[in-house]
Amino acid sequence: MHDKHSERMSATERRAAVGLALVFAFRMLGMFMVLPVLATYGQALDGATPALIGLAIGAYGLTQAILQIPFGALSDRIGRRPVIIGGLLIFAVGAAVAACSHSIWGVIAGRILQGAGAISAAVMALLSDLTREQNRTKAMATIGMSIGVSFAVAMVGGPLLTRAFGLSGLFWTTVGLALVGLLLVLFVVPVSSRAMQHRESSVARQALGATLRNPDLLRLNLGIGVLHAVLMSSFVVLPLAMAERAGLPKEEHWWVYLTALVVGFFAMVPFIIYGEKKRQMKRVLLGAVAILALCELFFYVFYAHLIALIVSIIIFFTAFNLLEASLPSLVSKVAPAGGKGTAMGIYSTSQFLGSAAGGILGGWLFQHGGLSIVFLGCAALCVVWLVVAATMREPPYVTSLRMPLTPAAAKDKGLAERLMALPGVADAIVVTNSDEMAVYIKIDTKQVDRAALEQLVNSASAA
């Protein structure tokens, strides 16, 4: 029997974290592998136009945005596993439709179906069911890392696979990855004995209104939407700029992305450490958005010069990786106690809407104005984001905690007030539903005496 207070992950928790991280990674691979290749190889598809290629790049974001929160709610009702299994099957069918298609419309239909397998919320909820409170952050971090790694692998693997097997081979690989994910869910991920209500990892209807009215969360939602719109729009034209204007054959693009992602990953780390340690995340965020805007202007000026283009792609990915890593952390800091799951659900929806809008807008601008107009449009979006982000407050440097309560403690009307009176406690909410008796607390780890906090909650429980 594993000690329930142990800080070490149990074998079951490790299996859950690794298994679900791989499910996430394989699905993200399938989504992103087309990004660096569709603009170049997609031109051979029947009926392909720049606008339709842009739609194919971003189409998955539409269904993903619409279905992500409803699928999460459905998993509360019918169980996590049926929703995840169903989502992976829909995703595999979508990839198969795209693999069998010789026309751009078939690929668009396949991408829309791929997005309909919207299992992110259900996967996160299952992870909460299978891990204990003290190990949940580690488990979530495992999934976060798997997403970052899968994006990097997709950017390099997409061009290599397409060079070897063509676009249809790329989509068949995606079908295989989805089926491997299905096997992981069936045979590796442990079966949960309970579906836990957990406001840190799932959307709570009660928190929706407050989350949608929070100005700092709205700024961050706009930010992730713009970031993914700029990414998708840029990839409608960047591969073409490299292949047709700068003279680098499309079969060679993989090493540019590999260099950009490796350098970008290591280059962003000092900025993240500086922002967190010195509590200057707003400054880091604004700097990264400004660099993103400058990169787009650099693309606009130098898209026909190979070395300049490669250098600016490397800087672009440094800023992109930095923003991709820091925005979710900012959301969890800014979200009210017990509102993190809801805030992240809306944030993810904004991200997918941005992906869809970026692909569609990039394709439309390219068709009507050429390469340079797309880069100018992306730069303009970044400037809008910069202006909006400049008005946000420095985020509170707090960590979210959830502590389960006994029925006796849940009846303690003054518990939230007493917790809020402790130095370093920024926010606290006591939830007393019969299916979710817990207290959610936001604490500044530099100020809070964790032992005093636990003693206060435990003494309320004992009373």
* Digit-coded pLDDT (tens) for 192-218: 877 666 666 667 777 778 888 899 999
Is CATH 3.40.50.300 correct for 399-462?
Answer: no
pLDDT at position 78 over 70: yes
Per-residue pLDDT tens over the stretch 104-146: 999 999 999 999 998 988 898 888 888 877 777 788 888 888 8
**What is the length of the chain?**
463
Q: How many CA atoms lie within 13 A of 43 on its CB side?
A: 13
Tell me the C-alpha to C-alpha distance, in Å, between residue 14 and each of 10, 80, 94, 130, 179.
6, 18, 31, 10, 22
pLDDT band at 2 (very low <50, low <70, confident <90, very high): very low
* Token duo for residue 117: 């397998």
190, pLDDT greater than 80: yes
Q: Name the DSSP class of 243.
A: I
Is it true that domain 11-190 has CATH number 2.60.40.10? no
pLDDT at 60 over 50: yes
The residue extents of the domains of the chain are 11-190, 211-397, 399-462
d(CA 129, CA 131): 6
| Residues 257, 148 contacting (CB under 8 angstroms) | no
Q: Mean of the pLDDT values across residues 288-305?
A: 95
Please indicate whether the domains covering 211-397 and 399-462 agree at the CATH topology level. no
Q: What is the residue-averaged pLDDT of the chain?
A: 89
Q: What percent of the chain has pLDDT over 70?
A: 95
By C-alpha distance, which of 338, 341, 347, 346 is closest to 442?
338
pLDDT band, residue 176 (cuts 50/70/90)? very high
Residue type, 298: F
pLDDT digits (tens, 9 = 90+) for 404-436: 777 777 777 778 788 888 888 888 888 877 667
pLDDT at 198: 63
Note every long-range contact of 109-113, with CB atoms under 8 Å and residues 24 or more positions apart, other chains counting. Answer: 110/171, 111/34, 111/56, 111/57, 111/59, 111/60, 112/59, 112/60, 112/62, 112/63, 113/63
Does the predicted TM-score (pTM) go above 0.75? yes
Cα within 13 Å of Cα(413), Cβ side: 0
Query: How far is 438 from 432, CA to CA, in rounded Å?
Result: 7
Taking residues 22-27, report their average pLDDT: 93
Span 223-270, pLDDT tens digits:
999 999 999 999 999 999 999 999 999 999 999 999 999 999 899 999
Alpha helices in 131-248 (DSSP H): 133-187, 205-213, 215-240
- Concatenating the DSSP letter of every residue in 300-367 gives HHHTT-HHHHHHHHHHHHHHHHHHHHHHHHHHHHHSPTT-HHHHHHHHHHHHHHHHHHHHHHHHHHHH
Write down the pLDDT at residue 362.
97
Structural contact between residues 300 and 410, judged by C-beta atoms closer than 8 angstroms: no
Q: Which of 265, 238, 267 is nearest to 253 (CA)?
A: 238
Q: Please tell me the predicted confidence (pLDDT) of residue 200.
A: 65
**Predicted pLDDT of residue 461:** 60
Give the pLDDT confidence score for residue 192 in this predicted structure: 81
Q: Is CATH 1.10.10.10 correct for 211-397? A: no
Instruction: Point out the least confidently predicted range of 37-51, 96-110, 348-362, 399-413.
Output: 399-413
pLDDT of 1 > 70? The answer is no
